[in-house]
Copies of this chain bind each other. A is one copy, B any other.
Amino acid sequence: MRDTKERISMNHGNGGIYMNKLITSLFLHFFENEQIREQADSAILRVNEGHLAYTTDSFVIDPLFFPGGNIGSLAVCGTLNDLAVSGAKPQYLSAGFIIEEGFKLAHLTRIVKSMAIEAEKAGVRIVTGDTKVVNAGKCDKLFINTSGIGLLEERHLGIGSGQKIKPGDKIIINGPPGEHGMAVMQARKLFAFKTNLKSDCANLYPLIRKILSASDHVHFMRDATRGGIATVLNEVARKCNTGIEIDEMQIPVNEEVKIMCEILGFDPLYIANEGKVIVIVDPDDAIEVVAAMKRTETGRDAAIIGEITSDHPGRVVLITRSGGKRIIDELIGDQLPRIC
């Protein structure tokens, strides 16, 4: 048996004394709230009549710590964002940990603390959880699953599904794509060069609340995580059988992401983000939405980058800087695994 004071041992997952100590001193300590304190098999939540948004996401990112965040802040923000882009106000989270035997308790503590801080900032509660420990070599350090529940007002129904999208709608992004993926690449220390890149990992709900206040004609939102904005736009084009045109000149650029992508042969449009949202709005409201976004921390670089077309349904087309056109295909091969 390893030292259970400094490292996670199999006993931390067996349901007995060590597991109980871990739950009490770590999870209950940092996630403190009336529901989790009960330590029952389920958290009990009071709800009013209406609609809930419900989502889940597992996080397997490598490395666990990266500039701008760690797997814990990511696991909270990622699930909050999936709720927020559905038009919902995030309320409750669950947290499931799969931990490799021998994992440093100090690292787990840092991660759990980050989760608590992000949840607190967002005004959401982590109300139920689970801990499993697997033998050394049977998982890579730590995986976290979070699921989440949000409240959805009647008037925001359908924002996550894309059914309201129509030709002429403007496509907006809140900032330059690719920061998360490139920051994680940097953290893997595979390259000799160094950048100041930070992940854009952030809770987008405050931004999204502003967007929904600025317009009653937000037709779609989706955070552009795995596969980047190219993947979100292709999903929209396919699902709504509509064309999409985006203008390379209008897409915000992070110079370090641009240079790193050029060196490594990546396209920023396909790189994962953890704080970028694609917003599709009625053209009459687009300028007002961008203005509202620019007044927030996560929307400072917001820009209209393109529009929905009736031409070339199912296709995403990029107008290049030189004025040419290039099809932005769906991702086939793998650009960057374990980025989230």
| A positions within 8 Å CB-CB of B | 1, 10-11, 13-18, 20, 38-60, 62, 81-83, 85-86, 88, 92, 94-98, 127-130, 132-135, 137-140, 143, 145, 147-150, 152, 157, 160-162, 222-223, 225-228, 231, 235, 239, 330-335, 337-338, 340
Identify A60's interface contact among B41, B98, B239, CB under 8 A.
Answer: B98
Our pick among B15, B20, B47, B94 for the contact of A147 (Cβ within 8 Å) is B94
Asked, given contacts A161-B38, A335-B14, whether A128 binds B54 with beta carbons under 8 Å apart, the answer is yes
CB contact between A45 and one of B13, B54, B129, B148 (< 8 Å): that residue:
B54
Q: Is the CB of A226 within 8 A of B337?
A: no
Q: Are A53 and B43 in contact (CB under 8 A)?
A: yes
Q: Please state if B55 and A43 are interface contacts (CB–CB under 8 Å).
A: yes
Expressed in whole angstroms, the Cα–Cα distance for A227 and B228 within the complex equals 43
- Are B147 and A330 in contact, CB atoms less than 8 angstroms apart? no
A309 → chain B closest CB, angstroms? 22
Which residues of B lie under 8 Å from residue A15 when comparing CB positions?
Answer: 225-228, 231, 331
User: Are B140 and A138 interface neighbours, CB within 8 A?
Assistant: yes
Contact between B139 and A138, CB atoms less than 8 A apart: yes
Whether the Cβ atoms of A147 and B38 lie closer than 8 Å is no
A16→B332 contact, CB < 8 A: yes
The CA-CA distance from A172 to B239 in the complex, in Å, is 52
Q: A11-B332, A49-B47, A160-B40 are in contact. Are A56 and B94 (CB under 8 A)?
A: yes
